[in-house]
């Protein structure tokens, strides 16, 4: 951990760096989530059907997948502070471009840029967070991820409020971008600086292997579980439990609230029980939440189950990111970009795989398979002993 702290510089104020890093997670979460309420408006404005909208939205995921490995390399070669700042600038400036896109191809291009910037910032700010954590005496990664969750609530809720007040989509986007841009620029200089002595030599991109691959696969499972709740909880509660659509949407809401609360309090939990215990018990609790939802036929059991998924899964990913940043002989930037990319594959491909299984075997069984993968994650918790 000492070498990692040295790699991000010795002169920055640790407290200011922690606050600045929290601000970066808040910025990324807020701007990213602010796009969600704009999606149906963009669909109506451009006259897109569901199939064309789905293809267009792939631009965001494609941009993130392309940029994440490169972002880790650049953060390692230059600095996580620089790449975090540049990524934040681009997502703030590209949000209005998405709203202004006049047709589907240009919307897909704007979303590709937005996704690339989001993926780059996501990787780099986690590298910065790992360095900040290495300079302290206790875990702080969960609180950083908690600020991302808070940003998600702010972004989606705030944009919905602005649109509800009658503001145009562009005006709402400009307000969100302007506020987050101001926060970004005010805090960027307080992040940990790069290592003195120039860039690092000998860095190269490579396929994941060994412990990094294991951590990446565990991250894949956790992101897949999150994607399952995001895309399928409302469908499950409506079709399998007969809930009204307005109530069925509460499945993801209780999950998101549980995630935010647990991540904001997760550093104390990790300090007390250790990362291995957090991964083992958290993954097991998330699996139990899925099983409660699909095995108990009462509608309220589904809501309680998805709440438990949020409680259990919340702090597992922060522990996995911290562990990746500590793997001996591996640059933290490259390690974190690797597991982040694999995790993003989970949140993109996982819900689609669930849909495929659901078509053939039913949605409850498809969600049950996610629970099985979470049990396997709990069994592999020793991987975070780095």
pLDDT, one tens digit per residue, over 289-306 is 999 999 998 879 999 999
Specify the CATH number for the domain of residue 289: 1.20.1250.20
| In a domain? residue 255 | yes
d(CA 7, CA 134): 10
Note whether 31 and 179 are same-domain residues: yes
Note whether 253 and 174 are same-domain residues: no
Note whether 239 and 129 are same-domain residues: no
Closest CA to 316 of 284, 346, 348, 292: 284
- Band the pLDDT of 369: cuts 50, 70, 90: very high
Query: 279 near 320, Cβ under 8 Å?
Result: yes
Q: Check residue 231 and give its pLDDT.
A: 75
Instruction: Between 91 and 230, name the one with better pLDDT.
Output: 91
Q: What is the pTM of this model?
A: 0.78
| In a domain? residue 203 | no
For residues 190-207, average pLDDT: 61
Note whether 214 and 152 are same-domain residues: no
Pick from 157, 190, 223: which residue ends a domain? 190
- Band the pLDDT of 198: cuts 50, 70, 90: very low
Note whether 26 and 112 are same-domain residues: yes
Pick from 159, 190, 221: which residue ends a domain? 190
For residues 48-60, average pLDDT: 80
Instruction: State which residues form the domain around 81.
Output: 2-190
Note whether 317 and 364 are same-domain residues: yes
Note whether 378 and 315 are same-domain residues: yes
For residues 5-21, average pLDDT: 70
Instruction: Between 195 and 28, name the one with better pLDDT.
Output: 28
Range with lowest mean pLDDT among 184-188, 317-321, 340-344, 364-368: 340-344
| In a domain? residue 26 | yes
Does 252 score more than 90 pLDDT?
no
| In a domain? residue 196 | no
Total number of domains constituting the chain: 2
Pick from 190, 218, 241: which residue ends a domain? 190
Q: Check residue 335 and give its pLDDT.
A: 85
Instruction: Between 60 and 315, name the one with better pLDDT.
Output: 315
The overall average pLDDT reported for the chain is 87
Instruction: Between 248 and 265, name the one with better pLDDT.
Output: 265
Percent of the chain with pLDDT over 70: 92
Instruction: Between 126 and 27, name the one with better pLDDT.
Output: 27
Does 366 score more than 50 pLDDT?
yes
Note whether 184 and 220 are same-domain residues: no
| In a domain? residue 266 | yes
| In a domain? residue 201 | no
pLDDT in tens, 106-149: 999 999 999 999 999 998 998 898 889 888 778 888 889 889 88
pLDDT in tens, 144-180: 988 988 888 888 888 889 988 999 999 999 999 999 9
Instruction: Between 202 and 292, name the one with better pLDDT.
Output: 292
Note whether 98 and 165 are same-domain residues: yes
- Band the pLDDT of 201: cuts 50, 70, 90: very low
| In a domain? residue 377 | yes
Instruction: Between 386 and 219, name the one with better pLDDT.
Output: 219
Q: Check residue 57 and give its pLDDT.
A: 80
| In a domain? residue 202 | no
Note whether 184 and 237 are same-domain residues: no
- Band the pLDDT of 206: cuts 50, 70, 90: low
d(CA 266, CA 36): 27
Note whether 279 and 362 are same-domain residues: yes
Note whether 173 and 234 are same-domain residues: no
């Amino acid at each position: 951990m000492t070498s990692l702290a040295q790699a991000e510089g010795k002169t920055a104020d640790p407290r200011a760096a922690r606050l600045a890093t929290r601000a970066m997670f808040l910025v990324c979460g807020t701007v990213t989530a602010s796009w969600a309420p704009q999606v149906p408006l963009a669909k109506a404005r451009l006259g897109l059907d569901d199939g064309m909208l789905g293809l267009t939205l792939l631009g965001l995921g494609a941009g993130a997948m392309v940029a994440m490995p490169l972002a880790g390399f650049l953060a390692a070669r230059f600095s996580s502070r620089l790449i975090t700042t540049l990524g934040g600038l681009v997502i703030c400036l590209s949000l209005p471009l998405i709203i202004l896109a006049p047709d589907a191809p240009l919307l897909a291009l704007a979303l590709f840029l937005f996704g690339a910037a989001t993926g780059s910032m996501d990787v780099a700010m986690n590298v910065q967070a790992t360095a900040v954590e290495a300079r302290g005496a206790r875990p702080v990664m969960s609180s950083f991820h908690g600020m991302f969750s808070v940003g998600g609530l702010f972004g989606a809720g705030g944009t919905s409020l602005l649109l509800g007040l009658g503001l145009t989509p562009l005006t709402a986007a400009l307000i969100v971008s302007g506020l987050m841009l101001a926060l970004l620029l005010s805090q960027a200089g307080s992040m940990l600086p790069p290592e003195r002595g120039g860039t690092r030599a000998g860095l190269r991109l490579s396929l994941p292997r060994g412990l990094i691959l294991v951590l990446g696969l565990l991250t894949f499972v956790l992101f897949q579980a999150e994607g399952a709740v995001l895309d399928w909880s409302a469908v499950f509660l409506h079709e399998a439990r007969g809930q009204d659509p307005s109530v069925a949407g509460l499945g993801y809401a209780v999950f998101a609230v549980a995630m935010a609360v647990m991540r904001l309090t997760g550093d104390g939990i990790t300090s007390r029980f250790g990362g291995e215990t957090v991964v083992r018990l958290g993954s097991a609790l998330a699996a139990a939440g899925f099983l409660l939802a699909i095995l108990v036929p009462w509608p309220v059991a589904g809501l309680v189950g998805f709440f438990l998924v949020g409680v259990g899964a919340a702090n597992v990913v922060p522990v996995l990111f911290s562990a990746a940043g500590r793997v001996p002989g591996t640059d933290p930037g490259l390690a974190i970009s690797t597991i982040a990319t694999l995790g993003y594959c989970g949140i993109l491909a996982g819900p689609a795989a669930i849909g495929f299984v659901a078509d053939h075997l039913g949605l409850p069984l498809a969600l049950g398979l996610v629970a099985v993968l979470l049990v396997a994650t709990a069994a592999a918790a020793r991987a975070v002993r780095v």
